[in-house]
Amino acid sequence: MTQRTVMVLNGPNLNLLGTREPEIYGHDTLDDIAARLVARGAELGIEIDCRQTNHEGMLVDWLHEAREGGVHAVLLNAGAYTHTSIALLDAIKAIQLPVIEVHLSDPEARESFRHLSYVGMAAVDCVKGLGPDSYLVALDRAAAL
Ligand code: CA2
């Protein structure tokens, strides 16, 4: 059976997961979350390509790469760029791949500046507020696409 690939893209400051603000983001590091995704992906026959960057343009480049590389779906936690980036909105629309928006916290239950999501204007789905489990639920939904 050919393995499908799900790309998991993480934006700014998510490299700090597990080191600060555990009351909001939990104690798991991004490597912990990636390991859980890889384990669940193995059960689903899905290869996980998990990346993190602090740079908006890099996220745009990786979305383009997902399209070129025949990726099945993208899980995207764009961090604060979720709420600011028309470039990410345009990229998600351009690649014509299913992108699922993911958040550890529930941005709509937080400050009002987190209520607007440019990513959400083009994403096919959103999983938020479940801590690291948001990524696992999103992966199961991606597998069903
Ligand atoms: O809840 C999420 O996953 C967010 O995407 C996280 C972003 C925030 O700007 C979004 O509104 C919601 C922030 C990520 C910052 O990550 C940190 C991790 C540890 C310590 C400090 C920041």
Task: Quick: pLDDT tens for 134-145.
Answer: 999 999 999 999
Is 16 close to ligand 1, i.e. is its CB under 6 Å away?
A: yes
Q: What is the pLDDT of residues 72-97, one digit of tens each?
A: 999 999 999 999 999 999 999 999 99
What pTM was computed for the model?
A: 0.97
Ligand 1 pocket: which of 10, 13, 100 to mutate (most atoms within 8 A of CB):
13
Domains along the chain with CATH numbers:
4-143 (3.40.50.9100)
Ordered DSSP codes for the chain: -PPEEEEEEE-TTGGGTTTS-HHHH-S--HHHHHHHHHHHHHHHTEEEEEEE-S-HHHHHHHHHHHHHTT-SEEEEE-GGGGGT-HHHHHHHHHHTS-EEEEESS-GGGS-GGGS--TGGGT-SEEEESSTTHHHHHHHHHHHT-
Question: Is it the case that residue 2 has pLDDT exceeding 80?
Answer: no
Q: Which band of pLDDT confidence, cut at 50, 70 and 90, is reported for residue 22?
A: confident
Is 80 close to ligand 1, i.e. is its CB under 6 Å away?
A: yes
